[in-house]
């Protein structure tokens, strides 16, 4: 399945457009996956970094009380950090700290996948360009284009992290479970 999804993204002239269409179709099914381990297995084994970004973006948009219209960028990922809730319908019997842990896991996965999409320089990793255009980009040694929201400062990151930790403290109290602390360090 993962290979087929990756090929479906790649054969289109616009991988960005096809990944959006495929993500829109797959997203409702992800919402209905009952176990965290199954959701993580599906997302972690995804071959297409671009499709993974789109699915995680939809997941976070779904969990925001006020969705944003920003294009996927580092600024949008920071927005998700500040505005996402952990209230998904399939998590009713999960401990609250585990919901936050899962959200942090997916936020880290989104960040890593997005970095792979925009910062990679090899033939196979100019992911927003069609297969035909990638060879030209490699020959020209073109760097992938960054979004307007990709220029964020360390201060922006620090403020959003402090805000997020404050929200978690209100819900979980202190001290945080070890898994949460590890994921916070990884995300920073």
Kindly list the averaged pLDDT for each block of 10 residues, start to end, along the chain of length 188: 80 79 91 89 90 93 87 89 71 73 92 82 45 58 63 85 86 81 85
Give the pLDDT of residue 89: 53
Count: domains in the chain: 1
Please indicate, yes or no, if residue 117 is contained in any of the structural domains.
Answer: yes
Please indicate, yes or no, if residue 31 is contained in any of the structural domains.
Answer: yes
Please indicate, yes or no, if residue 80 is contained in any of the structural domains.
Answer: yes
Q: Give the domain extent around 90.
A: 14-129+142-187
Please indicate, yes or no, if residue 9 is contained in any of the structural domains.
Answer: no
pTM equals 0.79
Tokens of 151: 């220029």
Phi, psi of 135 (to 5 degrees): -60, -45
Please indicate, yes or no, if residue 5 is contained in any of the structural domains.
Answer: no
Please indicate, yes or no, if residue 124 is contained in any of the structural domains.
Answer: yes
Q: What number of other Cβ atoms are within 10 A of residue 144's Cβ?
A: 15
Give CA torsion, residues 129, 132, 134, 135, to 10 deg: -170
Please indicate, yes or no, if residue 3 is contained in any of the structural domains.
Answer: no
Give the pLDDT of residue 122: 39
Select from 5, 126, 106 the least CA-distant residue to 57: 106
Please indicate, yes or no, if residue 6 is contained in any of the structural domains.
Answer: no
Tell me how many degrees the CA angle 156-158-159 measures, rounded to the nearest 5: 65
């Amino acid at each position: 399945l993962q290979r087929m999804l990756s090929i479906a993204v790649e054969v289109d002239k616009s991988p960005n457009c096809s990944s959006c269409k495929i993500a829109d179709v797959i997203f409702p099914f992800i919402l209905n996956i009952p176990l965290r381990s199954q959701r993580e297995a599906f997302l972690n084994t995804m071959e297409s970094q671009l499709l993974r970004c789109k699915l995680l973006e939809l997941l976070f948009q779904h969990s925001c009380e006020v969705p944003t219209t920003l294009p996927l960028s580092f600024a949008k990922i920071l927005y998700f950090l500040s505005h996402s809730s952990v209230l998904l319908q399939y998590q009713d019997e999960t401990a609250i700290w585990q919901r936050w842990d899962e959200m942090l896991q997916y936020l880290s996965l989104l960040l890593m996948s997005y970095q792979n999409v925009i910062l990679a320089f090899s033939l196979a990793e100019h992911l927003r360009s069609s297969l035909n255009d990638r060879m030209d980009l490699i020959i020209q040694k073109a760097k992938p284009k960054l979004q307007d929201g990709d220029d964020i400062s360390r201060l922006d990151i620090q403020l959003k992290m402090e805000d997020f930790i404050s929200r978690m403290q209100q819900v979980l109290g202190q001290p945080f479970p070890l898994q949460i602390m590890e994921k916070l360090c990884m995300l920073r």
